[in-house]
């Protein structure tokens, strides 16, 4: 077995090559490279898919978070709560706007933010909460939304890893990740579940006023060209990427199913392997398996990664350093978040993509058993 990849974008492309190639060439022929009809069409189709009122495309998932924070009109020093065990983008955009990131702990089983830690972190200066739907699993949104309502604190859902995932409320009602808080953000980085062939991102909201502000901020604070109401930025999804995404959106549910099938096969093969904890699937979350992330009970994750690499099997450690221990946040180094700090030492993500075969999954698991 050769050439196992963490993600296989080329294989995925080859299944839909004719459609993708045509979409790209159509944009080139139209020469409407910026804000062309493809961008509007994709935004409309994504809004329909998510059942959300507004989709505002932008340049990447990090910009999406920054634009969302800017739209809330916060003051320097205001506190924004986000989990430490996560990708850096949320904390970084908080800091770049001179707001104060307040790192909270996570749950060992879901990898998502811990509710008690969230409640304890709230102060009169808390002005936003950014839950992250990590690895494709939706956070338990109902209690988060209740806290948001109780304290009047807006919620920005970072949905970069969970586009298409459903949350089921206790009454059985379902909503898509990213459409429950005040604002949702996502990334179309190539390896995400809905990825383009470059950089891309989007912001979601059901709030008309926020939508208008988000749109302006992404466009130099402008509604009418060359008239600038507020300080914004330049953050656009280009037409070629939108055209590619519009093709891939049709296959998103199929891609999610392929990921879930792969996860199911991993789960079955790993059931008997002691010292490995397979991903927990919370009953309220339809997991879309952006990552298939194990916890290693005894072994060092970096060691196991090295042993797998010797067999040419790529694995990833998401994330080796939690937010509050990053050098960029040296003033937070005395914060202690036991679960986040435990997870960074235990997690190991196995190859996960839409093109994984049963044979390669078996091969990966066999080698993992040896590596343990
Ligand atoms: C990928 C990712 C981002 C950032 O997206 P970019 O498009 O790379 O800027 C933000 N948050 C999370 C959780 C991510 O996984």
Could you tell me the CATH number of the domain that includes residue 192?
3.40.640.10
Residue 1 belongs to a domain: no
Q: What is the Cα–Cα distance from 205 to 200, expressed in whole angstroms?
A: 17
Q: What is the Cα–Cα distance from 294 to 289, expressed in whole angstroms?
A: 12
The confidence score (pLDDT) of residue 300 equals: 93
Residue 4 belongs to a domain: no
The confidence score (pLDDT) of residue 301 equals: 96
Residue with CA at minimum distance from ligand 1 atom 4: 61
Residue with CA at minimum distance from ligand 1 atom 2: 160
The answer to whether the CB of 189 is under 6 A from ligand 1 is yes
Residue 2 confidence class, pLDDT cut points 50, 70, 90? low
* C-alpha neighbours within 13 Å on the C-beta side of residue 152: 2
In sign, the C-alpha dihedral spanning 9, 12, 18, 22 is negative
Q: Supply the range of the domain harboring residue 287.
A: 252-371
Q: Which of 132-136, 262-266, 298-302, 351-355 shows the lowest per-residue confidence on average (mean pLDDT)?
A: 298-302
Chain-centroid distance of CA 193 in Å reads 9
Residue with tokens 């080859």: 14
Residue 163 in tokens? 């586009």
Asked whether the whole model's pTM tops 0.95, one would answer yes
Residue with CA at minimum distance from ligand 1 atom 14: 160
The confidence score (pLDDT) of residue 299 equals: 83
Same domain, 234 and 279: no
Q: What is the Cα–Cα distance from 258 to 307, expressed in whole angstroms?
A: 27
Assign residue 302 the CATH number of its domain: 3.90.1150.10
The confidence score (pLDDT) of residue 3 equals: 87
Same domain, 337 and 303: yes
Give distance in angstroms: CA of 187 to centre of ligand 1: 5
For residue 343, is pLDDT > 70?
Answer: yes
- Burial status of residue 341 (CB atoms within 10 A of its CB: 0-12, 13-18, 19 or more): middle
The answer to whether the CB of 160 is under 6 A from ligand 1 is yes
* Of 249, 269, 287, the domain-final residue: 249
Residue 95 belongs to a domain: yes
The answer to whether the CB of 87 is under 6 A from ligand 1 is yes
- 221 SS3 class: coil
Ligand 1 atom with the shortest distance to the CA of 161: 15
Query: What are 108-163's pLDDT values in tens digits?
Result: 999 999 999 999 999 999 999 999 999 999 999 999 999 999 999 999 999 999 99
CB of 83 within 8 A of CB of 102?
A: no
CB of 153 within 8 A of CB of 126?
A: yes
Q: Which residue among 158, 198, 352 has the greatest number of ligand 1 atoms within 8 angstroms of its CB, and so is best to mutate?
A: 158
Mean pLDDT of 90-101: 98
Q: What is the Cα–Cα distance from 38 to 32, expressed in whole angstroms?
A: 9
Cα Rg of the chain (Å, integer): 20
Residue 1 confidence class, pLDDT cut points 50, 70, 90? low
* Of 249, 274, 298, the domain-final residue: 249
Q: What is the Cα–Cα distance from 36 to 58, expressed in whole angstroms?
A: 13
The answer to whether the CB of 110 is under 6 A from ligand 1 is no
Give distance in angstroms: CA of 372 to centre of ligand 1: 31
Query: What are 168-222's pLDDT values in tens digits?
Result: 999 999 999 999 999 999 999 999 999 999 999 999 999 999 999 999 999 999 9
Mean pLDDT of 320-330: 98
């Amino acid at each position: 077995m050769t050439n196992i990849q963490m993600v296989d974008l080329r294989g995925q492309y080859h299944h839909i090559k004719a459609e993708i190639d045509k979409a790209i060439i159509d944009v080139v022929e139209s020469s409407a490279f910026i804000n062309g009809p493809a961008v509007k069409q994709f935004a409309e189709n994504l809004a329909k898919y998510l059942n959300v009122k507004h989709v505002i495309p932008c340049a990447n998932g990090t910009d999406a978070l920054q634009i969302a924070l800017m739209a809330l009109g916060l003051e320097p020093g205001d506190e924004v709560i986000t989990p430490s065990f996560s990708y850096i983008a949320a904390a970084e955009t908080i800091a770049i706007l001179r707001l104060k990131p307040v790192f909270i702990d996570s749950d060992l089983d879901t990898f998502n933010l811990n509710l008690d830690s969230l409640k304890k972190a709230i102060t009169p200066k808390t002005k936003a909460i950014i839950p992250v739907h990590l690895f494709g699993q939706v956070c338990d949104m109902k209690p988060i939304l209740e806290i948001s309502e109780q304290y009047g604190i807006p919620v920005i859902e970072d949905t970069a890893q969970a586009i298409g995932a459903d949350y089921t409320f206790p009454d059985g009602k379902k909503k898509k990740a990213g459409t429950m808080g005040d604002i949702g953000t996502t990334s179309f980085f190539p390896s995400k579940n809905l990825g383009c062939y470059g950089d891309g991102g989007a912001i979601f909201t059901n709030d008309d006023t926020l939508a208008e502000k988000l749109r302006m901020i992404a466009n130099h604070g402008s509604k009418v060209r060359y008239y600038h109401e507020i300080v914004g930025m330049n953050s656009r999804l280009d037409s070629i990427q939108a055209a590619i995404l519009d093709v891939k959106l049709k296959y998103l549910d199929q891609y999610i199913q392929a990921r879930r099938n792969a996860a199911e096969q991993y789960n079955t093969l790993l059931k008997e392997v002691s010292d490995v904890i397979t991903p927990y699937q919370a009953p309220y979350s339809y997991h879309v398996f952006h990552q298939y992330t194990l916890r290693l009970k005894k072994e060092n994750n970096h060691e196991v990664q090295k042993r797998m690499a010797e067999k040419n099997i790529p694995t990833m450690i998401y994330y080796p350093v939690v937010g509050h221990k990053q050098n960029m946040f040296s003033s937070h180094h005395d914060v202690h978040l036991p679960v986040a700090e435990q997870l960074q030492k235990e997690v190991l993500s196995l190859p996960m993509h839409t093109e994984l075969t049963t044979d390669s999954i078996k091969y990966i698991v066999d080698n993992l058993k040896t590596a343990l």
